[in-house]
Amino acid sequence: MSSSEQKYNDTIVKGFLISGLVWGVASMLVGVWIAFQMVYPELNFGPYFTFGRLRPLHTNAAIFGFALSIIFATAYHTVQRLCRVRIWSDKLSNLHLFLYNLTIIAAAITLPLGLNQSKEYAELEWPLDLMVVIWFVIFLINYFATIFTREEKQLYAAIWFYIASWVTIPILFIVNNLSIPVSWIKSYSVYSGVYDANIQWWYGHNAVAFVLTTPFLGLMYYYLPKHIKQPIYSHRLSIIHFWSLIFLYIWAGPHHLLYSPLPDWLQTTGMVFSIMLWMPSWGGMLNGFLTLTQAKEKIKTDATLKMLLVGLTFYGMSTFEGPLLSIRAVSGLGHNTDWIIGHVHGGTLGWVGMMSFAVIYYLVPRLWNTNLFSERLANTHFWVATLGILLYIVSMWVSGISEGSMWRAIDETGALKFPNWVQITETLKPYRLFRGIGGGLYLIGLLIMIYNVVRTIQNSGSGFKEIDLRIGSKEEKVV
C-alpha cells in the first residue's frame, strides 16, 4: 500500500464512484425508454411504467443518483488532498454512503408506485426527505471537520465551489419541501398558489445551480490542472468567477415563471439576473479553455482531455442558452416546448455527463493502482457520446422551435392554424425519434466505459503510481 493510500481514505471515493456507475446506467436506461414512449405510446405499460411514473424516476436517478454520486466521490477525494489530511471520520463517511444509496433505492420503488409530491426535482415524499436531511448533515459534519483540521492553510478555489453547494443545498431543499404529513406516504406543501410556484422554481433553478453547476466547477478546477499537470490559467479569475456566480445565480429562478401571475417586478428580476449570469459563467469557461491550451497537443490522443474540452464547451453553450431563454420574447416561443428539453440535456449530457466521465477515467486507474485498460475504448466512448449529444439537442432545438411556432401560428381570420394538438404531436415524432436514438448512443457510450472500468479494476496491481502534485496557478508557486 502506498503512503498516499495510507494517508487518505479512498475506499469511500471508490464506493461513490461505483454508485455513480450503477445509477448512471439505471437513469439513462429509463431515460431512453421514456424518450421512445414519446414516439411509440404502446411502450407505456400501466400503471407503474407509464411516462408519468417513469419521468420523475429518470430525473431523480440522473441528478441525485448519478450526478450526486460523482459529486460526493470527488468531494471526498479532493478535500483530503487539498487539505492534506485524511477525512475526519471513516465511520461517518461509510454511514453517508449507506444511507444515501438506501434513499435512492427507496426512491426507485416509491416513484413508479405514484408516491410523490408532484414537485419538479422534489418528488420524494416526506419520510425520504427526512432521510436526505439526515445523511446530508452527516456529510456536512465530516466535510467541514476535515477542513477545520486541515494541514494546508490556503483553501484552493475548488473547495470554495464545493462549500457553496453544501451551504446552499440544505437551505433550498428544506424550505421547498416544508410540508404537512397526512399519512406515512402522503403530505401537502405548506405553500399554495403563486407562492408555491415561486418557492418551487427558486428551488428548481438553484438545484441546477448548486447541484449540477458549482460542484462540477469545483471538480473542473481540480481535475483539469491535475490531468494536464499544469496550473490553472488564472487563480484570480477563479475567485472572481466564484463570487460573481454565487451572488447572481440565486436570484434567477423567477425566469421560469414568465407570463404567470407572479408579480412583473419579480419576473423582471429573474430575467435581469439570468442575463447577467453570462459574464461569470463565461469567465469560468474561459479559465478552463485557457488552461487547456497548455496541453492542446494532447487533445488528439487523450480521451479524458477531449471529454473535459467538450464538457467546458457545453457549459458555455448552456450558460448562453439559459439567459437567452429567460428573455420574455424568447421564452414566449420556447417555454413548455422540446427546446427546453434540448437545453436541459445540453447541460446534463454535455456538461455534467462529460465532466463525470472525465473524472471517472482520471480516478479509476489511480484509485485501483493500475493503468486504464483501453485508451481506444475511451476514445470510442467519447465519439459515441458526443454524437449522441448532438443528435439529441439538435433534434430538440428543431422540434421545440417548430412546436412553439405551430402553437402561435394563426390564419388570415386570426384563428389558430393548428388547433388540433395531435396534429402538432405527429409533426414532432421524427425529431423525437432522433432524440431517442441520440439518448441510446449516449447510453451505449456509458456501457463501453463500464466495460473499460471493470477491466481496468480487474488489472489492478500492475504498478501504476499517482504522483500527487499540488495544484497552483500562474500567480502561485507550484510545489
Residues making up the annotated binding site for heme b are: 58, 343, 345
Handedness of CA 172, 122, 188, 268 (dihedral sign): positive
> What is the length of the chain?
479
The residues pairing with 410 across neighbouring beta strands, listed in sequence order, are 416
Residue type, 356: S
| Cα–Cα separations (whole angstroms), residue 235 to 221, 248, 286, 472, 473 | 10, 20, 12, 8, 5
Distance separating alpha carbons of residues 238 and 154, to the nearest angstrom: 14
Task: With CA atoms as reference, report the closest residue to 365 among 78, 69, 14.
Answer: 14
Long-range pairs of 50-53 with CB within 8 A, sequence gap ≥ 24 = 53/111, 53/112, 53/113, 53/114
Q: How many Cβ atoms from other residues are within 10 Å of residue 206's Cβ? A: 22
The binding site for Cu cation comprises 205, 255-256
Distance separating alpha carbons of residues 184 and 198, to the nearest angstrom: 27
Q: Treating both helix axes as pointing N-terminal to C-terminal, what angle do 264-276 and 278-292 enclose, rounded to 10 degrees?
A: 20
Task: With CA atoms as reference, report the closest residue to 393 among 336, 441, 438.
Answer: 438
Grid coordinates given for 44: 407505456
Please report how many Cα atoms fall inside a 13 Å half-sphere around the Cα of residue 415, on the Cβ side: 5
Grid coordinates given for 290: 485557457
Q: How far is CA 46 from the centre of its chain?
A: 30
The binding site comprises 58, 205, 255-256, 343, 345
Residue type, 410: I
| Cα–Cα separations (whole angstroms), residue 391 to 34, 318, 350, 368, 414 | 17, 16, 12, 35, 36
The answer to whether the CB of 60 falls within 8 A of the CB of 345 is no
DSSP state letters, 263-311: -HHHHHHHHHHHHHTHHHHHHHHHHHHHHHGGGGGGTTT-HHHHHHHHH
Residue type, 455: R
